[in-house]
Amino acid sequence: MSMWLFITSLVITAFICNSPAYAYDNNPLQDICVAVNDSQASVFVNGKICKDPKLATPNDFFASGLNVRGNVAPGFGFYAKFVDVNNMPGLNTLGISIGRLDLEPLRFIPFHTHPRAAELITILEGTVLAGFLVPDPANFYRSRLFSKTLNPGDVFVFPQGLIHFQYNVGLKKAIFLATFNSQNPGIFMITSPNIASDLPILNDILAKGFQLNKTQIALLGKKFF
């Protein structure tokens, strides 16, 4: 009986330790770890160096500016501003960050993913159609769409790494906050990095991947270069 309990405990422990729910930023091993840029250092915590705690200040844990819109994304009609470990160093090892998105009427934040975080959005103004895609295990070439039309006060979550989008379906500007369970969630736009990568991908490969011909790929590429 004791052996059975040991095996059961071992299986449960292995499941918990390997569960996707724990596959986010590492838990901190200290109270604070204010990030500091130091190219001479060789020890990193979540990609950043820890400042000596005695040198930390309240400003390390402070940021402002989410009351105004951020930088425009050319050609897409939305503005983005983020507070992450890169501009609030006190977030280092805490596993959280936040952003503000302003979306013009009938404009679209294209399909993208955040490789290191789930995203939770809270609508402040306007009406936003939000959705994400989940792969269909029964058919490799299909996905299941989860989408919802959101109004002020509504909250919607995108699971980590899944393709998602936001579309302003109203006639007024939409504003929402995006919170992430990572200090540096990252972003990967589905179309533009494939078309406009640093090392150009052969048009033959792009044409086959997007089910288009080379002329169409050339026209599509002009939108991203």
Cβ contacts of 198 within 8 Å, gap of 6 or more: none
Q: Is 62 exposed, middle or buried (0-12, 13-18, 19+ CB in 10 A)?
A: exposed
Output the CA–CA distances (angstroms, integers) from residue 162 to 81, 82, 113, 115, in the order listed.
21, 20, 6, 8
Q: Are the CB atoms for 156 and 197 separated by under 8 Å?
A: no
Annotated binding residue 112: yes
* Cα–Cα distance, 30 to 164 (Å, whole number): 34
Q: Give the residue ranges of the annotated binding site for oxalate.
A: 114, 119
Q: Give the residue ranges of the annotated binding site.
A: 112, 114, 119, 164
Q: Give the residue ranges of the annotated binding site for Mn(2+).
A: 112, 114, 119, 164
